[in-house]
Amino acid sequence: MIKVLFAASEAVPFIKTGGLADVIGSMPKYFDKEEVEVRVILPKYLCIKEIFRENLEYRAHFYMDLNWRTQYVGILETNYQGIHFYFIDNEFYFSGPTPYGNIYEDIEKFAFYGKAVLCAIPHLDFKPDIIHCHDWQSGLVPVFLDHFRFDNDYYRGIKTMMTIHNLKFQGRWDTKKVQDITGLAPYYFVPDKLEAYKDANYLKGGIVYADWVTTVSHTYAQEIKMPFYGEGLHGLMSAKSNHLSGILNGIDYEEYNPETDKFIAKQFGIQNFRQNKSADKISLQKELGLTVDKQTMMIGIVSRLTDQKGFDLISCVFDEMCQDAVQFVILGTGEERYENMFRHFAWKYPEKVSANIFYSEELSHKIYGSVDAFLMPSLFEPCGLSQLMSLRYGTVPIVRQTGGLKDTVEPYNEFKHTGTGFGFNNYNAHEMMGTVRNAERIYYDKKRDWNKLAENGMKQDFSWTRSAKEYQELYTKLVRGEV
């Protein structure tokens, strides 16, 4: 059996700020338990809900050097849905109302976490064959492991894998300060190791020292070798291309299941979505104060309201799109200008636009289950989860063909009557609007084709089972030394 330890900064249900938490909390359940055992190690944040914190059991504690500091490290443990979760405890670093704060504080916090993960392993009854690190917060784990191997035979057989969920976030800070925090030798702070553009870079360190690097879609793995997507690390990604692969994320098909979803008004499957989805739409229209009409095309957006997600395109043409026979339902928070833009249009077109500037798990499920189409015009998208949820609920995605969106949404072919959604290539507001209007045309004029698109989407398999199988094959090769 292969033993894998996930090192990450968040996981559902304990702590969540984004899609990373969904990945870490969901994927371990889907591995073949006879072949791979996955456990997870997280920081024990004070902001984890009380209901979870009170169920943690003390495992061990010790003191660890972090350069000139000596720090307490506690280890707590719980079993959730059959998965072992370990928590690194230190109230100095992990108190506060949110898991992340100022970057200069996070730099020290996750240096502590990276070293504590390795120091904690001998105290567990679980020596991993592979430590699977996720994003920059665990980027120093492979670096510290390289350092530990010189002094301690215990660590020499452990392999590391680094998964990039979003290359934009790298954990960069002043090199001298990071040297002082970590106590790592100057040898590590050179351009072919941790240094990038005169700063220390946690993610770069993880990429350089990991035995294998993955990212969350095949297309994004290729895109990050180019300057536009590479965020300054495109040269490194090209150099690592023989040890780089893309494996699509999945979604939890138990949680996102229109046949059992307790949040939607009327549950449905492939056989009856044509009838029951209309009832869900009418229910949502009533709840949000929109004109109640099951014939009107409804487009949903559930997202962080940021430039990365393509909202600068939407802002250019949204007023124009509101002239069409469509309704828009928006859910999310983000940059103030986009929050206010949607509030403005909800005021201007109260029967057509519903702006929900907050986050609600319940409302997100209702949107996926009720709307006809889902708009996702991202500037870049490592994988994306919203389009996968849309497909699961028979909601037709309208996406820009980039990263994971390109890998998961097959554009509609009007002549072959194939596809699962609509796509456009150029990052251009009018090209996006043209694609939305083409979708409107098919919705109103070719209803049979539209229903076929929705049905095709519901037949796709983007569950974690598929992703876990690909990771399992990679783990096996890594342990055997075949890659």
Extended strands (E) in 220-276: 244-246
10 Å Cβ neighbour count for 17? Answer: 11
Question: Do the beta carbons of residue 252 and residue 246 sit within 8 Å?
Answer: no
Q: From the centroid of its chain, how far is CA 467?
A: 14
Superfamily designation of domain 2-250+465-480: Glycogen Phosphorylase B; (3.40.50.2000)
Query: What is the rounded distance in angstroms from the CA atom of residue 445 to the CA atom of residue 194?
Result: 56
The pTM of the full predicted model, rounded to 2 decimals, is: 0.94
> What are the domain boundaries of the chain?
2-250+465-480, 273-460
Q: Are domains 2-250+465-480 and 273-460 of this chain identical in fold?
A: yes
Q: What integer is the mean pLDDT of 130-137? A: 98
**H or E, element range at 404:** helix 403-408
Query: What is the rounded distance in angstroms from the CA atom of residue 249 to the CA atom of residue 256?
Result: 14
* Each residue's pLDDT tens digit, 136-152: 999 999 999 999 988 88
| Through-space distance between the first and last CA atoms of the chain, rounded to whole angstroms | 18
Q: What integer is the mean pLDDT of 381-409? A: 97
Question: Distances from the Cα of 178 to the Cαs of 72, 181, 199, in angstroms?
Answer: 20, 5, 9
10 Å Cβ neighbour count for 35? Answer: 13
Q: What integer is the mean pLDDT of 407-418? A: 95
Q: Which CATH class is domain 273-460?
A: alpha beta
The one-letter code for the residue type at 226 is: M
Least confident stretch, 149-163, 201-215, 351-365: 149-163
pLDDT at position 483 over 90? no
Name beta bridge partners: 3: 37
* Predicted local distance difference test score (pLDDT) of residue 482: 87
Q: Are strands 172-174 and 199-201 parallel, antiparallel or unpaired?
A: antiparallel
Q: Where are the alpha helices (H) located in 89-174, listed in sequence order?
A: 91-94, 103-120, 140-149
* Predicted local distance difference test score (pLDDT) of residue 349: 98
Q: Is 299 exposed, middle or buried (0-12, 13-18, 19+ CB in 10 A)?
A: buried
